[in-house]
Amino acid sequence: MRPLTEVPDAWLAGLRGLLFDLDDTFLDHGRLLPEALQALYSLRDAGFELYVVTGRPASWGAVVTHQWPLDGAVTENGAIAFRREAGRVRLVDRLGTEARTERRGALRHIAAELQAAHPELELADDVDGRSSDVTFDIGEYRRVPAEVVARARRAARALGATTTLSSVHLHVSLDRADKATGVVALLRAIHGLSPVRVLGSYAFIGDSENDAACFAAFRVTIGVANASGRPTVPPRFRTAGERAAGFVEAARLLLARRGNLS
């Protein structure tokens, strides 16, 4: 990874917006810091589109899209999204209501089997706000050994589920989604953009293994200094600061370069 200051001006010239993870990227140990929120308002005032892209639940996505200066949110690792439309926040779920209900029932059975076989696993405290996955706390309020997480992932896959790791959670789902495909689908729905246009017109900043799809897909990819996990493709650039400080650092660079390129 190269220092953030080495991102080429030409790569920033056509950027429409910034996509950003929440935990350990925008949030600082779960806290929303005033300087991070102010950076969002500064980016919006400068004309950037802003989208949260997170493993957090749909319920969080609905709230932050209402309350923050966002154009939308991609939640649950790409499965559920929200968009602003005519002053309202609209749910975007590519699966119909009936199919989603059936899939949630099947997921509950898988989660029960995993917990029975792996008593170290506890449900995350945000699981009731989720639509497409069941999530276990492996690093937010408790630490689960890596070997237990690895066994649980193998067991979930044997039951027909997919798994995704973030810096704090193990996600188990029956959706075949990831953050990058979720972003592409949402921006196609909002703007009619082709995947190629999306991947070249938005920067992504994240920190964790569940950001791997975005690190691999987008041209301008940024990891905050605390980036962890083993993404198959790392971000191209890295901030000097960790978590919210890294996000603010990236925002300031985008704003400064936007001024230089105008």
Looking at residue 23, its pLDDT comes to: 95
- pLDDT tens digits for range 93-106: 989 899 999 999 99
pLDDT for 228 beyond 80: yes
Question: How many angstroms separate the Cα of 129 from the Cα of each of 56, 120, 139, 214, 215?
Answer: 9, 22, 19, 24, 27
Confidence of residue 262 (pLDDT cuts 50, 70, 90): very low
pLDDT for 13 beyond 60: yes
Domain spans, the chain: 2-94+177-261, 97-173
pLDDT for 90 beyond 80: yes
- pLDDT tens digits for range 179-222: 999 999 999 999 999 999 999 999 999 999 899 999 999 999 99
Identical fold for domains 2-94+177-261 and 97-173, yes or no, is no
Mean pLDDT, the chain, whole residue set: 95
Q: What is the mean pLDDT of residues 57-63?
A: 97
Reported pTM = 0.94
CA distance 95 to 131: 11
DSSP helix/strand/coil, 36: helix
Q: 2-94+177-261 has which CATH code?
A: 3.40.50.1000
**Which amino acid is located at 245 in the chain?**
A
Looking at residue 261, its pLDDT comes to: 52
CATH fold, domain 97-173, is Hypothetical Protein Ta0175; Chain: A, domain 2 (3.90.1070)
List the structure tokens of 98: 């009936």
pLDDT for 233 beyond 90: no
- E-strand spans in the chain? 2-3, 17-20, 49-53, 72-75, 80-85, 88-93, 133-137, 162-165, 169-173, 202-206, 220-223, 237-238
- pLDDT tens digits for range 129-181: 999 999 999 999 999 999 999 999 999 999 999 999 998 999 999 999 999 99
Please give the DSSP secondary-structure letter assigned to residue 192: -
Question: Which spans in 85-211 are helix H?
Answer: 97-117, 146-158, 179-191, 195-201
